Structure 1
Amino acid sequence: MDILSQTIAAVRTGAPASGLFIRHAPWGRAYPVVPGAGFHVVLQGSCWLLRPDAEPLAMGAGDVLFMPRGADHDIADQPDTAITERAMPGEPREIQGPGVRTALVCGAYELGRQRSHPLLDELPEFIHLPARPGRHPALRSAVDLLAGEIAEPRLGTDAAIPALLDTLLLYILRAWFEEHAEAASGWAGALTDPTVAAVLRVIHDDPARAWTVPELAAAAGVSRATLARRFTATVGEPPLSYLTRWRMLTAARLLRESELSLAGVSRKVGYQSEFAFAKAFKREYGLAPGRYRHAEESPAVVAV
Structure 2
Amino acid sequence: MDVVSDAISAVRIGRPTTNRIKVSGTWCTRLSSYDGMGFHVVLEGSCWLLPEGGAPFTLTAGDAVLLPRGTGHVLADSPADEYAVAGAVRFEDWQGTECVQQSSPSAELLCGKYRLDGNGQPHPLLAELPEVVHLPRRPQSHPELQAAIDLLGREAGSSLPGADVAVPGLLDLLLVYMVRAWTTDPESAARWPAALTDPVVAEALRLIHASPELPWSNEELATRTGVSRATLARRFTPLVGSAPMAYLTWWRMSRAATLLRDTKAPLDTVARRVGYSSPYALSHAFSRTFGTTPGRYRTHSATLTRAS
**Structure 2 length-normalised TM:** 0.91
Report the CA distance between 1:28 and its aligned residue.
1.0
Q: Who is 2:75 aligned against?
A: 75
Report the CA distance between 1:147 and its aligned residue.
1.6
Q: Who is 2:8 aligned against?
A: 8
CA distance in 1, matches of 2:36, 2:104: 33
User: Per the alignment, do residues 96 and 173 of structure 1 end up closer, same or farther by CA in structure 2, a change over 3 Å counting?
Assistant: closer
- Does residue 85 (structure 1) correspond to residue 89 (structure 2)? The answer is yes
Q: Who is 1:49 aligned against?
A: 49
Report the CA distance between 1:91 and its aligned residue.
4.7
CA distance in 2, matches of 1:6, 1:54: 30
Q: Aligned with 1:282: secondary structure?
A: helix
217, 220, 233: which one aligns with 1:215: 220
CA contact (8 A) 1:25 1:99 kept: no
**Structure 1 length-normalised TM:** 0.93
Listed as ranges, the matches of 1:199-278 within 5 Å are 199-278=204-283
Listed as ranges, the matches of 1:158-173 within 5 Å are 158-173=164-179
- Does residue 116 (structure 1) correspond to residue 122 (structure 2)? The answer is yes
User: Per the alignment, do residues 171 and 280 of structure 1 end up closer, same or farther by CA in structure 2, a change over 3 Å counting?
Assistant: same
Report the CA distance between 1:215 and its aligned residue.
0.3
Higher mean displacement: 78-87 or 245-254:
78-87
Identity rate of aligned residues, in percent? 45
**Which amino acid is the alignment partner of residue 137 of structure 2?**
A
Q: Aligned with 1:103: secondary structure?
A: strand
Listed as ranges, the matches of 1:152-191 within 5 Å are 152-180=158-186, 186-191=191-196
Deviation track 1:200-226 (CA, whole Å, cap 9, x = no partner) reads 011001101121100011111000011
CA distance in 2, matches of 1:146, 1:280: 42
CA contact (8 A) 2:45 2:108 kept: yes
User: Per the alignment, do residues 40 and 191 of structure 1 end up closer, same or farther by CA in structure 2, a change over 3 Å counting?
Assistant: same
Give unmatched runs, 5+ long, in structure 1: none
Deviation track 1:267-292 (CA, whole Å, cap 9, x = no partner) reads 11111121121111112112111111
Report the CA distance between 1:259 and its aligned residue.
0.8
User: Per the alignment, do residues 89 and 197 of structure 1 end up closer, same or farther by CA in structure 2, a change over 3 Å counting?
Assistant: farther
Count the aligned residue pairs: 301
CA distance in 2, matches of 1:90, 1:23: 10
Q: Who is 1:17 aligned against?
A: 17
User: Per the alignment, do residues 92 and 264 of structure 1 end up closer, same or farther by CA in structure 2, a change over 3 Å counting?
Assistant: farther
User: Per the alignment, do residues 22 and 132 of structure 1 end up closer, same or farther by CA in structure 2, a change over 3 Å counting?
Assistant: same
CA distance in 2, matches of 1:96, 1:149: 17
Give unmatched runs, 5+ long, in structure 2: none
User: Per the alignment, do residues 171 and 150 of structure 1 end up closer, same or farther by CA in structure 2, a change over 3 Å counting?
Assistant: same
